[in-house]
Amino acid sequence: MGSGIAQVAATAGEDVVIYDTKEEALKTAEEGLDKILTRLVEKEKITESEKERIQGKISYINTLRDLKEVDLVIEAIVENLDVKQNVFSTIEKFVSDECILASNTSSLSIASIASSLEKPERCIGIHFFNPAPLMQLVEVVPAVQTAEEILQKAVAIIKSWKKVVAVAKDTPGFIVNRVARPFYGEALRIYEEGIADFATIDWAMKELGGFRMGPFELMDFIGNDINYTVTETVFEAFYYDSRYKPSFTQKRYAEAGFLGRKSGRGYYNYSESGSKPEANKNEDIGKQVVERILIMLINEAADARFWNIASATDIDNAMTKGVNYPKGLLSWANELGIDWCVQKMDELYNFYREDRYRCSPLLRQMHSKSEKFEV
């Protein structure tokens, strides 16, 4: 991720330094970037001179003293709060008072990271999506300590790198990792209830819903261990709200070592002898699957708006540019009708009587006033 962010910045014309304590890691980053740029030349995406220009913009260092002239530091290390706090408090001793200190964390509190600094107002979250050079979205997350000037500078810098910026409140999962939880969680719930199997759910979401990947394909691609850990982290961070409750199915698959593509086995078998099961292409079942997952996604997006996590436009941009959803969820709600959204959520709640299926107050309020989302 760090070298990917460096590539983005260097391509935009910035002078960049990549820091790591290990020479081996720096060599790996340099060789990896060379391979990526060489492939881009071969595909005629960039010229050989452009490749040389980008490489010439990047330096590789293993001493923090070389950071004294930088204007922005973006940390991209392990997702561990104690480690990040230690790194930030150390870095602050070597940079200028004007330097912005940013974290690429996808789930940790920016306020907690900022608290390790003598000047916490300079700290902000700048969350890229993987792979950074290809994904358009960047979530910019100010902490409660972050100065408004720092937020504006960070947004301007990231926009100058030709990225789409979504400003998000410093809450668990920010926008994307919060709003996307039902794509996985509700798919697992549908499977556990015996309504449809993995292949059928994936088929429905792709062929009928228009998503690029089905939930189980995507979890296998991400890694069941990683996806489960994020789900568990969000569940705990939201004080065990049942809406984010993890699945025993996913827990057992992770415990069994069925991690997805990287282990050769996940919800599907990726070994040479493995074959993908056939989906049940019953359109009634498929429609039921799509509508249930979609309304839970819409409800989550509406709740993010209700709690002022981000603007309606930023929420829709986050889901289309960050995870390639076919439509912005709030625009989708307008298209389907707010009345339809409220009705579907109430049907789920009336059947299950679980708080998991509570309708967002914003949807109910908008329904009573015949309003639509402004996106």
- 30 included as an active-site residue: no
Among the listed residues 103, 109, 177, 224, the single catalytic one is 177
Cα–Cα distance between 108 and 320 in angstroms, integer?
Answer: 23
Q: Single out the catalytic residue among 75, 103, 104, 127.
A: 127
Distance CA 341, CA 299 (A): 8
Active site residue 300: no
Catalytic residue among 3, 106, 116, 331: 106
- C-alpha span between 357 and 375 (Å, rounded): 25
139 is catalytic: yes
Which among 75, 92, 139, 300 is annotated as catalytic? 139
C-beta of residue 258 within 8 angstroms of C-beta of residue 224: yes
Q: Which residue matches tokens 């509570």? A: 358
Q: Catalytic annotation on 367? A: no
Task: Express the helix, strand and coil content of the chain in percent, nearest 5 each.
Answer: 55, 10, 35
Counting Cα atoms < 13 Å in the Cβ hemisphere of 143 gives 25
Q: Evaluate the CA torsion angle 185, 188, 190, 192 in order and state its sign.
A: negative
State the CB neighbour count (10 A cutoff) for residue 251: 14
What is the rounded distance in angstroms from the CA atom of residue 10 to the CA atom of residue 122? 23
Q: Strands of the chain (E only): list them.
A: 16-19, 58-61, 72-75, 100-103, 123-128, 137-142, 164-167
Phi, psi of 166 (to 5 degrees): -120, 120
Tell me the CA distances in angstroms from 21 to 27, 60, 96, 325, one per residue in order. 12, 11, 21, 38
Q: Which residues are part of the catalytic machinery?
A: 106, 127, 139, 177
